[in-house]
Amino acid sequence: MRRYATQSTIVAKLTTVLVALVLAGTAHAQPPTKPQAQKTPRAVKLPDQTYMPVVVDQEFATTSEMDKAAKAKVMERQQALFEQRYDLSDNPSDAMMAAGRKSVQQGVRVKLSEGITWPKLATMAPEEIKRDNLFPLGFRPLPHTKHAVGGMVFPKAQIDAISKAESRDLERFDVAFDLPDHLTPEFPPPIFLCLRSLFSPSSRITRVFSNCRDWLRKMIL
């Protein structure tokens, strides 16, 4: 047992000496590293708020006149985009919308690139469609008519109806609605109200339904 212990001790000592020699040789072979000068961090000016400020550098009247002058070009640009992407023709079907006041439009509305058909597009691999930029534009994101400004834009029929019923003018001076009337839903939208017997004539729910009914009757008539 003592002989094996002595051999183990000798092996451990030799291993320690060998490791020390290897480390010493590695340290001697590497060139001494020069201490790097510490860089002074640049001062960063933080904003006073976390949102972008809205800077209005001109009077509203000036902005209004500029937007009114540019309105025609804005609508021409959007119309050209629609004609490039979609078939906007009036092609009614025999099916009617929920209230029976307008026909449901029919047919394929998205246009394809020149020389491409739907069967041909169906046989192409996704990589090929992407490489040749053949993915239909009509399925890509559609920008707002005036994208930098955004906001609600109402069809003329709704503007006229609201103006007649409530004397409110929803027409914008900078942009107009961009879809033809035959591609818009019915207005006023159909709302089918069925009062249940558990609602008393004086309940709040019944009064709300009655107000909606009166408002819709005024909009239609």
pTM value is: 0.59
State the pLDDT at residue 1.
46
Q: Tell me, what's the pLDDT at 57?
A: 79
| pLDDT tens digits in sequence order for the chain, 221 residues long | 444 445 556 555 556 655 565 555 555 555 555 555 555 545 545 555 555 556 677 888 998 999 999 999 999 999 999 999 999 999 999 999 988 889 999 999 999 999 999 999 999 999 999 999 999 999 999 889 988 888 899 999 999 999 998 899 999 999 999 999 999 998 888 776 555 555 455 544 445 555 666 666 665 55
Report pLDDT for 4. 44
What pLDDT shows up at residue 23? 56
Residues 6+ apart with CB under 8 A from 82: 88, 178, 179
110 φ, ψ to 5°? -85, 130
Separation CA 46–CA 43 (nearest Å): 9
Which residues have C-beta within 8 Å of that of residue 92, sequence separation ≥ 6?
Answer: 103, 104, 105, 106, 182
Residue 61 is inside which H or E element, if any?
A: helix 60-85
Residue 5, pLDDT score: 45
Residue type, 82: F
